[in-house]
Structure 1
C-alpha cells in the first residue's frame, strides 16, 4: 500500500487537472494523515484572516478519527477518481 500511496502522491503533485477546492482539501488532509504529519495546531495560533490555514485545519479535524492506513486508502481512491492516468 505504501508504494500505491507514493505513486498516487506523485500523480497528484504532477497533475495539471484543476480540482475543486473541497477535493484539494481532502487530498491535503488524507496525505498529511497518511504520512503521520497531521499534527493539529491550536486554533488560537492561526493568523487572523488566514482563511487558507483555517480550511486546512478544518479538513484535518474532519478526518481525525482515521488511522494512517485508512487515510492512505482514501487518498489513493480520491486520486484514482479525480486525476486521470
Structure 2
C-alpha cells in the first residue's frame, strides 16, 4: 500500500471506530489509542485526576509503540479495528 492508500484506509477505520457505540475491550482500546496517537502525532496529555491508573496504562501503551512510524501505526490501527469487528460477530 502507498502512504496515501494507508491514510485513506486509516481515516475510514477511525470513522468506523468512532461511530461504534458499545465499549471496546480494554486491551483493544489501549492499542487503538496508542496507534492513533502515533499515527496522528497527537500529544499525550497525562492527567492528574483520580483516573491515574488509566493514565498509566495509556502511557505504557504509548511507550510500547514509540518505535513505530506514522504509517506503521496507521496500519496497526487498521488491523486492530478490522480484527475487532471481524471476530466479535
TM-score of the two chains, using structure 1 as the length reference: 0.81
Alignment of 1:35-74 (within 5 A): 35-37=40-42, 39=43, 47=48, 49=50, 50-74=52-76
Match of 1:83, SS state, is helix
Match of 1:66, SS state, is coil
Higher relative contact order (CA 8 A, sep 6+): 1
Residue pair 2:37, 2:44 contacting (<8 A) in 1 also: no
Greater helix share, structure number: 2
Q: Which runs of 4+ in 1 moved over 4 A?
A: none
User: Aligned Cα RMSD in Å?
Assistant: 1.9
Residue pair 1:8, 1:79 contacting (<8 A) in 2 also: yes
TM-score of the two chains, using structure 2 as the length reference: 0.78
Residue 4 (structure 1) aligned with residue 5 (structure 2) = no
Name structure 2 gaps, 5 residues minimum: 1-5
Name structure 1 gaps, 5 residues minimum: none
